């Protein structure tokens, strides 16, 4: 099977995680980064999940899965449960057209979770189509060494310059040329060295407009 890679906007949208294990906690934290509304169904939780529940970061149903638990969800992740339980969840998810991932159980998935490198708003997803997750992990670890925090800071500044750049250069081809010139410059190295002000000046020099924070009004 060939998979179509996609990034989902889950902000404010209901998601369900079945299981209270360390693996479930890892999945929950990823969903929370995406600002999803998370419900965890599990009789017991890890210390970390219990802390998140206590802070109101997630909703906890302290029991096993029951039919109807997926109502309204857009994504479900199953990180625990016997085969019969996973089958029941899969049937409900399929009937309701819900995106379902069952950890290490490819036949009960209609999407697979990639290995992800995050640097601020930069997200690099790596998938082996479920055939060798360990390879995806090793590739992620390599990228984590090579892609630093400067890439996230670059995107923060880029967000502040997109609107004024579009106003100055309505032609997309011209904007694309300027963006490539910027990315190929020393701006990322300046950010890596902590020279953020020098990097901002480079944005202005190359793009011809200064970064304007959202809501500034200029």
Residues in the chain: 218
Does 2 score more than 80 pLDDT?
A: no
Tell me whether residue 166 is in a domain.
yes
**Rounded distance between C-alpha atoms, residue 124 and residue 216, angstroms:** 30
Closest by CA position to 101, among listed 163, 34, 24: 24
Phi, psi of 53 (to 5 degrees): -65, -40
pLDDT tens digits along 33-70: 999 999 999 999 999 999 999 999 999 999 999 999 99
Tell me whether residue 218 is in a domain.
no
Angle at the Cα of 190 (from 34 to 180), degrees rounded to 5?
Answer: 70
Residues 3, 95, single domain; the answer is yes
Closest by CA position to 127, among listed 33, 144, 135: 135
pLDDT tens digits along 166-209: 999 999 999 999 999 999 999 999 999 999 999 999 999 999 99
Here the tokens at position 137 are: 């992990």
State residue 213's pLDDT score.
62
Residues 100, 134, single domain; the answer is no
Domain span at 47 = 1-113
């Amino acid at each position: 099977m060939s998979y179509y890679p996609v990034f989902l906007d889950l902000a404010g949208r209901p998601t369900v995680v079945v299981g209270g294990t360390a693996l479930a906690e890892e999945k929950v934290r990823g969903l929370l980064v995406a600002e999803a509304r998370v419900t965890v169904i599990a009789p017991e939780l890890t210390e970390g999940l219990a802390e998140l529940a206590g802070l109101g970061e997630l909703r906890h149903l302290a029991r096993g899965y029951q039919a109807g638990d997926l109502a309204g969800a857009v994504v479900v992740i199953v990180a625990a449960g016997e085969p019969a339980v996973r089958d029941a969840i899969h049937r409900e998810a399929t009937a309701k057209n819900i995106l379902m991932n069952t950890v290490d159980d490819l036949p009960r998935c209609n999407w697979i979770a990639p290995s992800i490198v995050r640097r601020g708003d930069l997200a690099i997803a790596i998938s082996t189509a479920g055939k060798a997750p360990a390879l995806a992990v090793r590739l992620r670890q390599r990228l984590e060494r090579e892609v630093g925090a400067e890439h996230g800071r670059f995107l923060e500044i880029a967000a502040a310059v997109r609107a004024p750049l579009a106003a100055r250069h309505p032609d997309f081809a011209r904007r694309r040329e300027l963006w490539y010139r910027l990315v190929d410059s020393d701006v990322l190295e300046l950010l890596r060295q902590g020279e953020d002000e020098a990097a901002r000046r480079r944005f202005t020099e190359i793009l011809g407009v200064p970064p304007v924070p959202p809501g500034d009004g200029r």
